[in-house]
Chain A
Amino acid sequence: MATSEELKQRIEAALPGASAQVTGDDGAHFEAVVVAPQFEGMSRIAQHRLVYDVFEGELGGSIHALSLQTKAPARSSS
Chain B
Amino acid sequence: MSEETNPLRDAISEAIDENPVILFMKGTPEQPMCGFSARTAAALQALGAPFAAVDILPDPRIRQELSALSNWPTIPQLFVRGELIGGADIVAEMYETGELAEVLGVEQPTIAEPTAAEAGSAPLQPENRLG
Contacts and interface: CB of A to CB of B under 8 A. Distances in A.
Given A65-B36, A69-B93, A48 B75 contact: no
A10 interface: no
Interface residues of B, number: 16
Interface residues of A, number: 13
A48 B87 contact: yes
A44 B73 contact: no
Contacts of B72: 45, 49, 52
B5 interface: no
Specify the main secondary structure of chain B where it touches its partner: mixed
A68 B86 CA distance: 11
Contact of A67 (B63, B75, B88, B94): B88
Interface in B53-100: 63, 71-75, 84-90, 93-94
A59 interface: yes
A44 B125 CA distance: 29
B71 A48 contact: no
A60 interface: yes
Interface of B: 36, 63, 71-75, 84-90, 93-94
